Every structure is written in C-alpha cells, then in structure tokens.
Amino acid sequence: MSSSAQWNERYGPERVWSGAVNPTLKAVASTLDVGIALDIGCGEGGDAIWLASTGWRVRGVDFSSKALARASEAAQAHDVGSRCEWIQADLSVWTTNRAYDLVTCHFLHEERDVRVRAWHSAAAAVAPGGTLLIVGHAPDEGSGTHGPPRESRFDEDEITSALALSSGWEVEVDTVARQGNDGSSSDRLDVVFSATRIGR
C-alpha cells in the first residue's frame, strides 16, 4: 500500500504531468450543469483546475502533499484558487460526508484493494442526480505500450463487480482508445466507467 512519503518520492523535484485536462473528463463534464466536484487522486491538479476554470467548485484529494502544493500553485496561476480546495489524505481510508454533483477518479495507479476502497468512497460521495466518472488503464494494451504495472490496471468486469452499484444508478462502461485533446486517438486503451445516481 502506498504512503504519502512514497508518492512524494514518485513526484520528485519536477512537475510530472502536463497539467492538461484528461479528454474523457472534459467530454463528460461539458455535458453537465456546473456544480460541486470531487477529484479523487487529483495529483498536480490538471483536471480540478480545468473544472474550476469552467465554473465548478472543486475539492481535490491526493496522497501526495508535494503534488497538492503544485496543484495549489497552478490554481492560483490560473486565477481559480478560490474555487479549489486541496486535501492530503490516505485514499485507502479517506471518506467524506459531503455530496457532489460530479466525482471523478482518473488513473489511480494503486493496487486493487486501495483503488476499490477509493472507488467505493467516490460512489458514496455522489449526490442524487450526480455523476461518477472513473477512468483507468486497460490491462490489454499492447506489450510495447508503456504504462503502470498490471496491478494498477483493471477491466470492465472488475470495476463493475467491485462497485456492484444498485438499480439506483444508470451505468455505462466501455474500453476505448484514449483521445488526445486534439481529437486524435492513441494506442492507449482506457476503461471508462460512468454512472449517474438516479433522483434529485
């Protein structure tokens, strides 16, 4: 199980990610009414900052205090610091009693037990009428495609059975080629799990 210290070491002295929004989140969020969002495993804040720039109020949670410091700095640089809140926490145990209109969890590179607990916390935080969006690396990418180890990947059956959402949800799950922000596709394969909690 990863710790804050381990994740801080992984982030190292330089920024790791591009800071650009994940295209799947952009596509899904663009169809929703702006509200309050939760980004679980937010890293350096690219998704949360994009959401805030489009009017959402966002809470980002991550293992790494180093990543969150970078996220906070980037949010201030983009003039959205007042719409973002950053929380350092162990995602294997962190929960919230707040409800969110959108809960997103992209590429949580963790072993199965940790990510399943995070998924359950994510689902529990979705408000009636709200959306849950979980995206991760599929296990069957080509052998020449670099990415996280097998234990960080999952397929459609794994996430569907792990969450086991009731009839109170409308669920869609698919494995798709990852889209770039310019609309191009790559050799990367992502599992995209999207669910809406029924009711208002």
CA 124 – CA 176 distance, rounded (Å): 26
For residue 81, the 8-state DSSP code is G
Q: What confidence score (pLDDT) does residue 152 get?
A: 72
Q: Choose among 179, 177, 174: nearest CA to 155.
A: 174
Per domain, the residue ranges of the chain are 4-197
3-state DSSP call for residue 95?
coil
What does the pLDDT look like over 86-136, one tens digit per residue? 999 998 899 999 999 999 999 998 889 999 999 999 999 999 999 999 999
User: How far apart are alpha carbons 121 and 98 in whole angstroms?
Assistant: 11
Confidence check: pLDDT of 69 > 90: yes
84/2: higher pLDDT: 84
Rounded Cα–Cα distance for residues 57 and 141 (Å)? 34
Residue 178 binned pLDDT confidence (cut-offs 50, 70, 90): confident
Q: Tell me the three state secondary structure of residue 120.
A: helix
> Mean pLDDT across the chain, nearest whole number?
87
* Residue 113: count of CB within 10 angstroms of its CB: 11
Would you say residue 182 has pLDDT above 60?
A: no
CATH superfamily of this structure's domain 4-197: Vaccinia Virus protein VP39 (3.40.50.150)
Confidence of residue 4 (pLDDT cuts 50, 70, 90): low
